[in-house]
């Protein structure tokens, strides 16, 4: 998630930098402004969803008697399919 937010910050920095380029980058500037507006809304939406999934992952870890601090969401997303396969046999 941090990589996505950092990426958007880099795009915004590029937008600010290109504002001083003059008419040569006018089309690029217009396109980048449109992209940044849409991307900012998408990143905000993704942040909300990621937070909600994190809460649910913590609740799932607690349900199985695990400490959410010891089993972060990123680790759980890789081990959950293995557990599902184990219990489905």
CA distance 65 to 52: 20
The model carries a pTM of 0.67
Whether residue 6 contacts residue 47, with contact meaning beta carbons closer than 8 Å, is answered with no
pLDDT confidence of residue 76? 62
Residue 59's domain comprises 2-88
Extract the tokens encoding 30: 């217009």
3-state secondary structure 24-57: HHHHHHHHHHHHHHHHHHHHHHHHHHHHHHHHHH
CA distance 5 to 51: 14
C-beta neighbour count of 60 within 10 angstroms? 15
The total of structural domains in the chain comes to 1
pLDDT in tens, the chain (89 residues): 889 999 999 999 988 988 888 888 888 889 999 999 999 999 999 999 989 988 988 888 888 888 888 877 766 666 667 767 777 76
């Amino acid at each position: 998630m941090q990589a996505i937010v950092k990426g958007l910050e880099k795009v915004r920095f590029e937008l600010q930098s290109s504002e001083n380029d003059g008419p040569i980058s006018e089309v690029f500037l217009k396109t980048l402004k449109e992209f940044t507006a849409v991307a900012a809304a998408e990143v905000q939406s993704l942040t909300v969803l990621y937070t909600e999934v994190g809460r649910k992952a913590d609740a799932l870890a607690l349900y199985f008697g695990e400490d959410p601090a010891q089993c972060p969401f990123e680790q759980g997303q890789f081990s959950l399919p293995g557990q599902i396969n184990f219990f489905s046999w």
